[in-house]
């Protein structure tokens, strides 16, 4: 059994719905709606990730173009040196003589001259002796240097004195001639010696020379030494051995030598 309130609601619904139904009937039957497509049930499987897109193919770099390095041609070799043409007063390089070594040039030919004061002593077999003062020289040597310090030559050495015999002045000479060596200890000091012939002579035409064995011993000091010349002060001893005794000459001389 419907209550009054329910009847009222039905009456209101009829009022609203009847006109709509009449309109639908007039339009004809309504096509049934298409059934909805079934929805796939949700799956618990993990979603499949899409495969990554392939990386783009590497593009090869362009082939390197060989670089041509330009090289400069080596400079031409300089021309050989040619000395300038000879001119008056011009000396080409290399044409100058080599400088001479310092000091004396003791090489080749040598010549000695000396003169001074001397004493001649006569010693007899009985032990008596007698000395006379006079001259030493001139003495002479001709020879050559066989090394830079040694010369070999032929030496002539003399001491002499004068006496009056029967109102006539007579000269007596003690001589040495023979081969002799000269040895330089340094540029200034030298020694000399030789063995040869000793002989006695006089200036009288009535006397004959007397021969024997002679020695020559000397020592000297060059107070001046140049490249080719030397001046010296020397002492010389020239004993001669004879049948009647010994005659010894001693001289102190100034000398010059061509080196």
Distances (CA, A) of 217 to 127, 184, 190, 238: 23, 14, 11, 6
Q: Note the pLDDT of residue 25.
A: 55
Residue carrying the six token digits 């001709």: 142
Tens digit of each residue's pLDDT (9 = 90 or more) over 87-117: 655 555 555 666 666 789 999 999 999 999 9
pLDDT of 147 strictly over 90: yes
Greater confidence (98 vs 167) lies with 167
Whether the predicted pLDDT of 1 surpasses 90: no
pLDDT for 41 = 47
How far is 173 from 134, CA to CA, in rounded Å?
10
Phi, psi of 227 (to 5 degrees): -70, -35
* Model pLDDT, residue 111: 97
Domains contained in the chain, CATH given: 108-258 (2.40.160.20)
What's the whole-model pTM score? 0.61
What is the chain's percent helix, strand, coil content, to nearest 5? 10, 50, 45
Nearest one of 191, 193, 187, 205 to 239, comparing CA atoms? 193
**Position 256 pLDDT exceeds 80:** yes
Task: Considering only residues 80 and 191, tell me which one the structure prediction assigns the higher pLDDT.
Answer: 191
* The pLDDT value given to residue 243: 92
Q: What is residue 251's predicted lDDT score, i.e. its pLDDT?
A: 97
């Amino acid at each position: 059994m419907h209550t009054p309130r329910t009847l009222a609601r039905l009456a209101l619904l009829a009022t609203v719905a009847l006109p709509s139904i009449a309109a639908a009937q007039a339009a004809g039957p309504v096509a049934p709606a298409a059934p909805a497509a079934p929805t796939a049930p949700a799956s618990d499987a993990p979603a499949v990730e899409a495969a990554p897109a392939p990386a783009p193919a590497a593009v090869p770099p362009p082939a390197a173009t060989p670089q041509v390095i330009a090289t400069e041609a080596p400079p031409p070799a300089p021309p050989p040196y040619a000395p300038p043409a000879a001119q008056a007063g011009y000396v080409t390089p290399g044409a100058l003589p080599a400088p001479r070594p310092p000091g004396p040039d003791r090489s080749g030919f040598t010549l000695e001259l000396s003169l001074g004061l001397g004493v001649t002593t006569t010693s007899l077999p009985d032990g008596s002796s007698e000395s006379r003062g006079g001259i030493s020289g001139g003495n002479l040597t001709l020879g050559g240097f066989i090394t830079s310090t040694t010369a070999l030559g032929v030496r002539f050495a003399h001491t002499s004195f004068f006496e009056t015999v029967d109102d006539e002045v007579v000269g007596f000479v003690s001589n040495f001639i023979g081969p002799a060596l000269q040895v330089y200890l340094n540029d200034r000091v030298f020694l000399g010696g030789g063995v040869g012939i000793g002989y006695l002579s006089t200036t009288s035409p009535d006397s004959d020379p007397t021969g024997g064995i002679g020695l020559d011993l000397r020592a000297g000091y060059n107070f001046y030494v140049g490249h080719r010349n030397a001046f010296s002060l020397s002492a010389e001893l020239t004993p001669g051995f004879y049948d009647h005794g010994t005659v010894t000459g001693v001289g102190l001389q100034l000398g010059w030598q061509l080196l």
